[in-house]
Structure 1
Amino acid sequence: MSRVDPTARLTAAVVALSVLGVVLRVVALGERPFHWDEARAGVWALRFARMGVFEYRPVAGGPLPYHLARASLSLLGATDAAARLPVALVGGLLPLAALGLRTRLSAAETVLLAALLAGSPPLVYYGRVLRGDLLLAAAAFLACVLVVRAVDTERQSAAFAAVLAAVAALAASGFVVATAACVVAAVAVSVDARWVSLNDLVALPDRVRARSTLVARLFLVGVAAVVFLFAPRGGSASLWNPLAFPDVLAFVFDEAPGRFFAVRVASRYADGATHELWPFVSSLLEVLLAAAPVTLLAGVFGALYDRYVGSVRPVVTFFAAWAGVGVLVFPTVAEVDGPWTAVHVVVPLAVPAAVGLARGVAFLRDAVAREDAAVVASALLVCAAAVAGVGAVFADDVYGEPTPDSSLAGYAQPADDLDPFAANLSGESTVLYYGDRFHTRGWTEADGPPVPDAWGNRLPLPWYVAREGGSSTTLPSGAPLPETPPAVVVTTPEDAPTLRPELADYERSRYRLALWNREVVVFVGRS
């Protein structure tokens, strides 16, 4: 009987885990209502799909989520699940990247790495959210893995794929600046660990010159990918207008970076305005302990073991340093204290965590071989506790209804199901937003981002209105209602008593548009 090829068996195991990862992310994908950020991205992606108009604005996030969501919405229709599907697929397929490290890790470590990428609760949760965090973390991780693969195999295809993955990371989220800082710091630590010697650094210019043709091709591919993702669509300066190509290049390489600096750096840190670091770091560590304790504890153990007990492996040192630096860097650059920053730490931390878990498995096997019942029983008890803890996070936080006690849901995640609100809308519906909190003057949703605060206060409701093909109008507080009010009127609890006499025949409902302290009152005509 012929033996199964170990490489084929390893590949099959990783593929199976990736399939599991996809299933975990796509099941009930549209059940949870859209978060504030998802709704904002969804509205502009849907506008992109219907009108073909798009322009990169840092305040709205990176362009990659919009390109992916536009394709999905165009193919599958305007639904919550369709908008989230590209992120879910990227997250579910991420475990396949573990195969790129199979020459640097043992077979057991490779499989465990794939398992962690497939099943870590923060990665599953934010693999079901229309945000750029998972896309950035996955693309940056894949780019680094492909660099390792290119070095190991000397295949040019891996180098080209690494460039495309790096550009995808650049276009995924403004957090790419923090990711780049983490990668640079991790390279510095790896050099200190003698992954790269000084002689290698001195010889680097000669090696680049020897491969000048390849380097030039990689550069051109990268530039083309950047132009494709960041170029405007529609309007006078459009990627598809050959006559406007100089304007497109000027936008991509001059105006877009200028906008990013103005929005993400200059305005945010004007007059030295920053936030305290420790509360953000502490919050991130709390999320990791609550939602990814296995990855966190195994990652710390694996990094220490590989560094001080086993033979130092540069790839383990690199990803451990990336995660460690990320614990400080991402809270530093984050505008708000959000649990999504955990994604940027969990992905690189999965590599040393796989090493730590592999050592634990080896220890358990030795105990079984020695017939050490006490050690085996203790180890099984720890494993059972870990499985139960992860299962509880999945049940309560990943798939459960969002609550203020959730470790993974952000503040602006609605606490109520918004399907009943959407059920009252149709392509002919006009939603009236009533009150100063929602009223906008001289601005319409067709104008695109940046948006006034009053429009942001309506989120995530504009997504559901746009999804159903409806339209909206606004009135300030105290203004008289139209003679024939629209079928749906949205207002604040403070303004609702003013409208109640005129809308006596309307059904009244309350919706919590955040986990706390963000309620609206919705009047719906009974007809």
Structure 2
Amino acid sequence: MTNDDGVGATAPASAVTRPESETATPAPVLTGARTLYAVLAVAAFALLARLVGLGTRIMHWDEGRVGYWILRYHENGEFFYRPIIHGPFLPVVNDWVFTFIGVSDFSARLVVALVGGLFPLAAWLFREHLDDTEVVALALVLAANPLLVYYSRFMRNDVLVAAFSVFALGFVVRAVDTGKLRYLYFSTASMGLAFTTKANALLYLVCYLGAAALVFDHRLVGIAARGESVWSYLRSRPRWAKRGLRNRWKNAEYGAGVLVVNVVGALLVFLAVVAFFYAPRPELWQALAQPSGLPAVLDEATVGAAEEFYDSWGSGSHQDHPYLPYLYGLLETLVYGAGVTIVFAVVGLAADGYGSGTTGRRGRRWLVAFGLYWGVASVIGYPIATDIEAPWAAVHVVVPLAFPASVGIAYLYRETRASVVTRDTVSVGLAAIVIVAALAGVVGANAAYTNSTSQENEEVLQWAQPDNDLKSTMQDVERVAEANDGVDVLFYGSYHPTTDETLMYVENEESLERMPPGGPDWHGRLPLPWYLERADANVTSTPPSENGTALENPPPVVIAYGWEADHLREQLPGYTEHRHLFRLWSDEVVVFIDESELPEE
């Protein structure tokens, strides 16, 4: 089935009629249940790729920052929304995770890995608009793209907001395809979860609306190109919609009134999800015990959270940066981390838009065009929306490009099978080269990025990633803290030699028991507070001094920036010095440990 203008929903692959000239082409291998089994197998592979060695890499600066405040919430039960650490999803959910399986780098990243691993299942929701091979190909892109794999093994919200938003879109598509209103509830619940992860869920909605408007505009252009009246078409749409609803929802229970009630109910589900996550703790639990306080808590969870977000991000201060360097950084990340996806997206757009291929239809399908417009808007918009130049923003471009890329992968697969049947050795050879190169690129990139902290991968890794060698040193520090009485760790405060900013020093360590931290200098310690907090280490610090601070009775562990090493070495005889890259593109950290205080293994 084809739209009049060539842009719109097409029939499933099983309903496609192929031209007689292509009857030699073998029938698709995957149909119906087999496609579902293939998607499930891809999801299982995706979970495996994300879970194996998940706790191997040392925590990134950003992981350590959010992780520390999750630990504080886990310990004292106090949490409220702070836009600078994004949505409340990870603090609320990881609090439960830590309760059941303990605190570790693995458990901190587990929820993101699980959602990222299940992300390929979203492909099944679009099966009415992609053929069987394309559905599996879409699942493969979501499972194996190196950027999606790497940032699914990272305690950040980008993969979460992408997955929840795409599931929300897929459930809406299923609601329209099947006429089953329950999908509306799934959609709003999923979109509600997206809004609890990161504020750029708003950008997903904007992209969805903009892409839908452009797809509809294509339809109008096609109508005008055939010499038909656009205005007549627009006037007929209300009648068409009413007739479609009547045909779709034939049972009496699916009347217009019931439809409105279900839409309102679905919106209430969205608000309930958002309110539950954004409600401050322990005020939420107190209000549930004394319902008179519930209105105030709900107001704080909705209106109050919106005001907090606007005060933090609405002023535009976080976006006060030059556009072109951020655009260049985004494109560079896409080339290195999603080059195969981009190539297949181009092939898919050409195959879907400029030829009937094996499907006998004409014109680009609405879902493929939708992915293209969504992806282009993301490329243009994210360099404006992001507050720092970070590779994880590329996740939000890869996801929409996965839709045309799936068409490109399926096209190559079909052409290769047809060439094998007709014994076209030249075509088979060329296809084999393309397939091997693509597989080598994806597998090689994933192997390089999985637990990488290498400067060689700076296009994909964000610069505030410490080197992995630091992790073994911090394990020794944790062992010392667990066995030692009194002060365990001293952070040696200093001035940065180029920026002159104060680092490591916090005047009142007790201020770190609740958000926000007691001064910006604390951020210079990250991600080390995550490891020290989970070991319940007793921590103090020295104020910076231009001539260096003299130490008296130092604790068994002293941590400083690399430029202070010479001065400290003289004051810490008998201590073992461990030097590590702290931020891979700039600083080093030095950890002095009195190994006589280390308990035996």
- Which of 254, 258, 261 pairs up with 2:303? 254
Bigger radius of gyration? 2
**1:60 and 1:449 in contact (8 A); partners too:** no
Match of 1:473 in 2: 540
- Which of 496, 503, 507 pairs up with 1:441? 507
The whole-number CA distance in structure 2 between the counterparts of 1:330 and 1:144 is 20
Match of 1:91 in 2: 116
The whole-number CA distance in structure 2 between the counterparts of 1:348 and 1:510 is 42
Match of 1:275 in 2: 321
Match of 1:141 in 2: 166
**1:434 and 1:491 in contact (8 A); partners too:** yes
When residues 451 and 254 of structure 1 are mapped into structure 2, their CA distance, relative to the original with a 3 A threshold, is: farther
2:137 aligned with 1:112: yes
Moved more, 85-94 or 255-264: 255-264
- Which of 263, 281, 287 pairs up with 2:312? 263
TM-score (norm 2): 0.82
**1:232 and 1:238 in contact (8 A); partners too:** no
Match of 1:288 in 2: 334
Match of 1:348 in 2: 400
The whole-number CA distance in structure 2 between the counterparts of 1:112 and 1:239 is 48
Match of 1:499 in 2: 568
Other structure's SS at 1:30 match: coil
2:565 aligned with 1:519: no
The whole-number CA distance in structure 2 between the counterparts of 1:495 and 1:120 is 41
Q: What letter corresponds to residue 268 of structure 1 in structure 2? A: S
**1:460 and 1:513 in contact (8 A); partners too:** no
The whole-number CA distance in structure 1 between the counterparts of 2:306 and 2:451 is 38
Match of 1:489 in 2: 558
Other structure's SS at 1:517 match: coil
2:463 aligned with 1:408: no
Other structure's SS at 1:337 match: coil
What is the CA distance between 1:235 and its match in structure 2?
A: 5.4
**1:404 and 1:411 in contact (8 A); partners too:** no
Other structure's SS at 2:440 match: helix
Moved more, 101-110 or 280-289: 280-289
1:117-150 CA distance string (max 9 Å, x none): 1111111000000000000000111100010011
Match of 1:122 in 2: 147
When residues 198 and 229 of structure 1 are mapped into structure 2, their CA distance, relative to the original with a 3 A threshold, is: farther
What is the CA distance between 1:244 and its match in structure 2?
A: 2.7
What is the CA distance between 1:44 and its match in structure 2?
A: 1.3
What is the CA distance between 1:335 and its match in structure 2?
A: 1.0
The whole-number CA distance in structure 1 between the counterparts of 2:163 and 2:461 is 20
2:419 aligned with 1:367: yes
Match of 2:26 in 1: none
Other structure's SS at 2:455 match: coil
Other structure's SS at 1:292 match: helix
1:374-421 CA distance string (max 9 Å, x none): 121111112111111222212222244432444321101112322222
Moved more, 400-409 or 14-23: 400-409
Q: What letter corresponds to residue 543 of structure 2 in structure 1? A: P
Match of 1:15 in 2: 40
Moved more, 156-165 or 483-492: 483-492
Q: What letter corresponds to residue 324 of structure 2 in structure 1? A: W
**1:120 and 1:292 in contact (8 A); partners too:** yes
Other structure's SS at 1:331 match: helix
Match of 1:424 in 2: 477
2:198 aligned with 1:173: yes
1:299-325 CA distance string (max 9 Å, x none): 122134323434332222222211121
Moved more, 287-296 or 454-463: 287-296
Q: What letter corresponds to residue 300 of structure 2 in structure 1? A: F
**2:30 and 2:133 in contact (8 A); partners too:** no
What is the CA distance between 1:343 and its match in structure 2?
A: 0.8
What is the CA distance between 1:209 and its match in structure 2?
A: 5.8
**2:57 and 2:468 in contact (8 A); partners too:** no
2:286 aligned with 1:217: no
When residues 409 and 12 of structure 1 are mapped into structure 2, their CA distance, relative to the original with a 3 A threshold, is: same
Moved more, 395-404 or 48-57: 395-404
What is the CA distance between 1:155 and its match in structure 2?
A: 1.6
Unaligned 5+ runs, structure 1? none
The whole-number CA distance in structure 1 between the counterparts of 2:370 and 2:300 is 35
Considering only aligned residues, what root-mean-square deviation do their CA atoms show, in Å? 2.5
1:432-461 CA distance string (max 9 Å, x none): 111141112346221223663211111011
The whole-number CA distance in structure 1 between the counterparts of 2:236 and 2:177 is 16
When residues 498 and 386 of structure 1 are mapped into structure 2, their CA distance, relative to the original with a 3 A threshold, is: same
Match of 2:52 in 1: 27
Other structure's SS at 1:470 match: coil
The whole-number CA distance in structure 2 between the counterparts of 1:102 and 1:508 is 58
| Paired positions, count | 521
Q: How does 1:290-305 map to 2 (within 5 A)?
A: 290-305=336-351
What is the CA distance between 1:236 and its match in structure 2?
A: 8.8
1:37-85 CA distance string (max 9 Å, x none): 1111111112222222211100111111222222222211110000000
The whole-number CA distance in structure 1 between the counterparts of 2:238 and 2:373 is 24
2:561 aligned with 1:508: no
**2:77 and 2:282 in contact (8 A); partners too:** yes
Moved more, 284-293 or 91-100: 284-293
The whole-number CA distance in structure 1 between the counterparts of 2:214 and 2:577 is 60
Match of 2:384 in 1: 332
When residues 239 and 145 of structure 1 are mapped into structure 2, their CA distance, relative to the original with a 3 A threshold, is: farther
The whole-number CA distance in structure 2 between the counterparts of 1:26 and 1:470 is 29
TM-score (norm 1): 0.93
When residues 349 and 482 of structure 1 are mapped into structure 2, their CA distance, relative to the original with a 3 A threshold, is: same
The whole-number CA distance in structure 1 between the counterparts of 2:191 and 2:406 is 24
Other structure's SS at 1:62 match: coil
Match of 2:227 in 1: none
The whole-number CA distance in structure 2 between the counterparts of 1:47 and 1:102 is 44
The whole-number CA distance in structure 1 between the counterparts of 2:442 and 2:385 is 29
2:283 aligned with 1:230: no
The whole-number CA distance in structure 1 between the counterparts of 2:402 and 2:544 is 52
